[in-house]
Structure 1
Amino acid sequence: MTRPVLLILVAALVLAGSWLLGGQDVTLQSLRGHLAAVAEYQQQRPVLVAALFAAAYVAITALSLPIAVWLTLAGGALFGFWAGLAIVSFASAIGATLAFLAARYLLRDWVRARLGARAKGIETGLARDGAFYLFSLRLIPVMPFFATNLLMGLTPIRTRTFYWVSQLGMLAGTAVYVNAGTQLAALDSLSEIVSPPLLASFAALAVFPWIARAIVGILRRRRVYAGWTRPRRFDRNLVVIGAGSAGLVSAYIAAATKARVTLIEAGAMGGDCLNHGCVPSKALIRSATLAHQMRHAARFGLADTPPAVPFRAVMDRIRRVIADIAPHDSVDRYAGLGVDVLQGHARLIDPWTVAVTDPQGAERRLTTRAIIIATGARPVMPPLPGLDLVDPLTSETLWSRLADHDHAPRRLVVLGGGPIGCELSQAFARLGSDVTQIEMAPRLLMREDPEVSALVADALRDDGVTVLTGHRAIRCGIDGGRWIEVERDGAARRIGFDQIIVAVGRSARLEGFGLDRLGIETDRTIVTNAFLQTRFPHILAAGDVAGPFQFTHAASHQAWFASVNALFGTLRRFRVDDRVIPWATFTDPQIARVGLSETEARDRGIAVEVTRYDLADLDRAITDGAARGFVKVLTPPGRDRILGVTIAGDHAGDLIAEFVLAMKHGLGLNKILGTIHIYPTWAEANKAVAGTWRRAHVNPRLLALVERYHRWRRG
């Protein structure tokens, strides 16, 4: 029997039972009459009456029929206090559990689907605190008994936990009504049973577990801080270590809320993104793209023009771009916002004290209510024999090391096939380098779908990059010139080069800040809870050093939660919402993604429907001479809720924003289809993929009916 049929059957039973009971005049007087009729039979067969009563109680509570109170009174009147309490207590808990299981089986999947990505966060909270919530609800008389059963059935709380917490939580209220049943002859109305003082007692009992839990939390915090002496006064409300994206946003928020905040940076303001990462790499890519367009100008009806690439001028432009953006992240700007900015190296002395050593070696100590660690990440140098001999570059050092070169490296090896490696390989190839890209994995961009990897690999090869996937680097050397030896399927080969860029990943900056002194746990990143707190609740981490995402925009996003929790966490804390984190790889074509990929969905066993729109059909892509790539959207089968989007093509990093907004706020493809998009723009691709999904879900019966209607209208 299918779930919808079962749901209809259960609903019919509930309605029928309610209708039958609705025709009965249920009062204390009528209850006394019914009990008098049962009394003689009970004397003859007490065990049978008790069993039938328990079975009836289980059935009525399982179906959520509104006479449980009357049956509880009857239990006290028929069996006395202790026997009545035992029968009613077990029967009510069993009936409630049956209603709980019915709701879980019939409705839970539907509710999960409606909540979408929000369900995971809700279920995580209920898995942790569900027993507390249930106990409190059972002790609040105004909360309908049946509503609690159905509501908890939609949560991940275990059945065993639901049963024993329900039995324990309902025991006090059950005892009150059973005891009233023993005095049934003296009762005039139900209001005599539950008095205001009794309701207040129940409410106090309901909050007791939460009070106890808070006390346990206080004791745990005391254990964490044991051995440390807390200052009586503090110099600052917040100290932020690191002036990258996460640190800058944290300091900005603190200053905006009028907190006294100090921002400490050992290097250049703006962190890796401004000085070594996003900004210089995108400036390099822009120059490389123009060189590529000049080389292929015939595609636009012009003459192909081999570009002259004065590499020193390209690097000068990159420095100017950094200089133009630098004021946004400068000491002067943040000082003007009310942030105390200190240049120097920060080190935690105790949970509330930060020592700052300035460039001249002088040390200054600050006490603070809260600390945010936002020290970022650095390029990983693999343990490759001989690598130190060939003077490797990284995405961090190449900008200064190549700044005074008149030409791009003639022979360049890029070690790594992730986003950074792919971007740099293509850019340098377009600027004239003979590039060999080496990746140990079987394909580039392993986080993306295979078709995306293939598209990028083909584009790199078209630009002259030699892409070697499935090749493991063995060693480097300098005899007869610099070289790297790689191996595939047991066969080794040497590749000569003038420069090598190592782009095999980035690791969090964890050393030298006193984390080990305080016992703050690290595991590739700083270990934090859902509120970005370390073992010390007032010490938090954000950005690359906290993980799991190494994106500038993710660091800024985390910074809001870290700063608010640091400053106001004693009043209210906010869990980090990382359900919808997009990213982009700025190759040509660009790759952008948010949510699930098709590969991830398959690996996790998640059923999805894939809707695809090829950009070759987009008018604006055709006019721009960039009619390649696609928009791919994953949805639950038959529904328009967006689970993930991958875009490959020009402007993918911009196009993804509409889908990020839709996923964040629960908007489906039908909403995107119903939104006007300017013609001719790249954004029309988003509407086009929504239209493709809609056409695949037109009801054929409805179409046939409409066709008949039109035929009738024609006469």
Structure 2
Amino acid sequence: MRKPKKFDRNIIVIGAGAAGLVSAYISAAVKAKVTLIESGNMGGDCLNTGCVPSKALIKCARVAHSARTASNFGVGLPEPKIDFPGVMRHVRESIQQIEPHDSVERYSDLGVEVIKGYARLVDPWTVDITLNSGGERSLRGRAIILATGAEPTVPPFPGLDTVNYLTSETLWDRFAQLDTAPHRLVLLGGGAIGCELAQAFTRLGSRVTLIERDERLLPQEDHEVSKTVSLALESEGVRLLTGHEAVSFSGSEDRREGILNLRNAEGETQVTFDEVILALGRRARTKGFGLEKLDLLQDGKLPTDAFLRTRYPHILAAGDLAGPFQFTHMAAHQAWYAAVNGLFGDIKKFAVDYSLVPWAIFIDPEVASVGLSEHEAKQRNIAYEVTRYNLDDLDRAIVDGAARGFIKVLTVPGKDKILGVSIVSENAAELIAEFVFAMKQGLGLNKILSTIHIYPTMTEANKFVAGNWKRAHAPKRLLRWLEVFHRWRRG
């Protein structure tokens, strides 16, 4: 396979999710000739089946919860009536209002050629496209960015084909047909998606059972975070079954009811459901793009180097396909490196910076993390100190009825350098930003402490945790000397 002497495009991007859209935008911004190919809806999973619809659903659920708890603030309201079709309408309308940001028209105006069709690599430089409108096209790209995303993991459970199981992608169409929230809902998987949906549907009227194979929810998070989340979910009526492994499924003849068989250390048990959602993680979408033909895959995965290059340096990957973090903001972050390395990598290339990757789980209270957790620090044998601040001491949290949760900061022993932060709090995803900025700029807790924070706000918690660190590291010998000095001055 010889490298062509001429190319149709400087860069071809396959996939119009977060990584593909940003890659195409950056390439066009530096005046490269770029083509973006997408067979499905523009915006990818995030817009159509992930971040946007799930957060719209969570908002509806929070409104219902606020109505139920209004009496805590001296406002008596009746039990909210859940108009489930109205909830799903809000979800659809949220997507529709955001769609123009990711539309063919917008990216065409930005200078990107957008082709709707199925792309397939036929050699390292050539992409064949089966057009949605019919017909074929073929383009040669000097560089190619693979941004094909990921799809829900569906293990081959015995009997799974006897029930109408759902995933984070398929639940939206199914639930748009319902008059009420599902009565008995099972969520298999206690990660971020499972926890978010469990709380949301409980607040919308479902009896939810959340099942996790590990002994705790959110097994990748700090232990204290997991415990706090479990207590919050249980307090709202979510039935938690941790340490339970799914064994098999069985469904009724009309598929209106199903049974999930579980196993734990004490034996076997069953859970009956009307709807079941598999929230067992996501795997890179690799099939159907010609990757096997070019021997780009290893054990079903697409390996890349620090510059996001595959075994062919001009073929790069970004987003969920590349990993290791499956976040929309990480996909956009990687997209810059993929575009720049694809266009200019033979002149100068840039290794992706993974040093600070924040993430959040949008339950109530929210969970947000960046850097090392205490669990990770112990596993990696990294020395650390812990400083914490409990939200039940924060004025704004008290008046807002949000006085639960905490901020936990890991620092280098004896120093204010931040190694990691875990927050469980209302608006934790917003609070974490100050710590991300401080860590990125090499600023420690002393700098946060010396920054004026508006009173009364939730962000004061960031300053107060820094104050706790300062008090724990006060110079005791100097303070004793000052005590003597002041006593002498009093005469």
In structure 1, give the amino acid aligned to 2:331. Answer: A
* Cα deviations by residue, 1:51-106 (Å, 9 ceiling, x for unpaired): xxxxxxxxxxxxxxxxxxxxxxxxxxxxxxxxxxxxxxxxxxxxxxxxxxxxxxxx
Separation in 2, partners of 1:473, 1:335: 47
Equivalent residue runs for 1:73-112 within 5 Å: none
Separation in 2, partners of 1:263, 1:461: 45
Counterpart of 2:231? 458
Counterpart of 1:497? 273
2:350 to 574, 577, 591: 574
- Say yes or no: does 1:346 pair with 2:113: no
- Say yes or no: does 1:421 pair with 2:194: yes
Segments of structure 2 that go 5 or more residues without pairing to the other structure are: none
The offset of 1:328, in angstroms, is: 0.5
In structure 1, give the amino acid aligned to 2:402. Answer: A
Separation in 2, partners of 1:526, 1:587: 32
Counterpart of 1:366? 139
Separation in 2, partners of 1:311, 1:592: 29
Equivalent residue runs for 1:477-626 within 5 Å: 477-479=250-252, 481-523=257-299, 525-626=301-402
3-state SS, counterpart of residue 246 of structure 1: helix
The offset of 1:229, in angstroms, is: 2.1
The offset of 1:453, in angstroms, is: 0.9
Counterpart of 1:704? 480
2:184 to 407, 411, 415: 411
Equivalent residue runs for 1:162-561 within 5 Å: 228-479=1-252, 481-523=257-299, 525-561=301-337
Contact conserved, 1:607 with 1:637, CA < 8 A, in 2? yes
Separation in 2, partners of 1:250, 1:415: 34
| Paired residues, number | 488
3-state SS, counterpart of residue 528 of structure 1: coil
3-state SS, counterpart of residue 286 of structure 2: coil
* Cα deviations by residue, 1:130-158 (Å, 9 ceiling, x for unpaired): xxxxxxxxxxxxxxxxxxxxxxxxxxxxx
1:632 to 403, 408, 419: 408
Structure 1 moving runs of 4+ over 2 Å = 521-525
Separation in 2, partners of 1:635, 1:490: 40
Contact conserved, 1:618 with 1:627, CA < 8 A, in 2? yes
Counterpart of 1:675? 451
3-state SS, counterpart of residue 443 of structure 1: coil
Separation in 2, partners of 1:362, 1:507: 30
Contact conserved, 1:297 with 1:305, CA < 8 A, in 2? no
TM-score after normalising by structure 2: 0.98
Higher strand proportion, which one?
2
3-state SS, counterpart of residue 474 of structure 1: strand
3-state SS, counterpart of residue 526 of structure 1: coil
Counterpart of 1:685? 461
Contact conserved, 1:611 with 1:693, CA < 8 A, in 2? yes
In structure 2, give the amino acid aligned to 1:609. Answer: E
Separation in 1, partners of 2:203, 2:370: 29
Contact conserved, 1:507 with 1:524, CA < 8 A, in 2? no
3-state SS, counterpart of residue 553 of structure 1: helix
In structure 2, give the amino acid aligned to 1:355. Answer: D
Separation in 1, partners of 2:26, 2:313: 19
The offset of 1:473, in angstroms, is: 0.9
Contact conserved, 1:561 with 1:575, CA < 8 A, in 2? yes
The offset of 1:431, in angstroms, is: 0.1
Separation in 1, partners of 2:35, 2:301: 23
CA spacing shift, 1:604–1:462, aligned 2, 3 Å: same
* Cα deviations by residue, 1:599-657 (Å, 9 ceiling, x for unpaired): 11111111100000001111110011000000000001100000000000100001001
The offset of 1:361, in angstroms, is: 4.0
The offset of 1:463, in angstroms, is: 1.3
Equivalent residue runs for 1:132-171 within 5 Å: none
3-state SS, counterpart of residue 342 of structure 1: strand
In structure 2, give the amino acid aligned to 1:386. Answer: G
Separation in 1, partners of 2:194, 2:353: 29
The offset of 1:490, in angstroms, is: 4.7
The offset of 1:557, in angstroms, is: 0.4
The offset of 1:451, in angstroms, is: 1.4
The offset of 1:524, in angstroms, is: 5.2
Contact conserved, 1:525 with 1:547, CA < 8 A, in 2? no
Identity of aligned residues (%): 61
In structure 1, give the amino acid aligned to 2:125. Answer: W
Higher helix proportion, which one?
1
Separation in 2, partners of 1:378, 1:271: 11
The offset of 1:304, in angstroms, is: 4.2
Separation in 1, partners of 2:423, 2:210: 24
Counterpart of 2:434? 658
Structure ID, larger Rg: 1
Separation in 2, partners of 1:521, 1:398: 30
- Say yes or no: does 1:695 pair with 2:475: no
Separation in 2, partners of 1:377, 1:663: 30
In structure 1, give the amino acid aligned to 2:221. Answer: E
- The one of the two structures with greater contact order (alpha-carbon pairs below 8 A, sep at least 6) is 2
Separation in 1, partners of 2:415, 2:49: 43
Contact conserved, 1:384 with 1:475, CA < 8 A, in 2? yes
* Cα deviations by residue, 1:553-580 (Å, 9 ceiling, x for unpaired): 0110000011000001111000100100
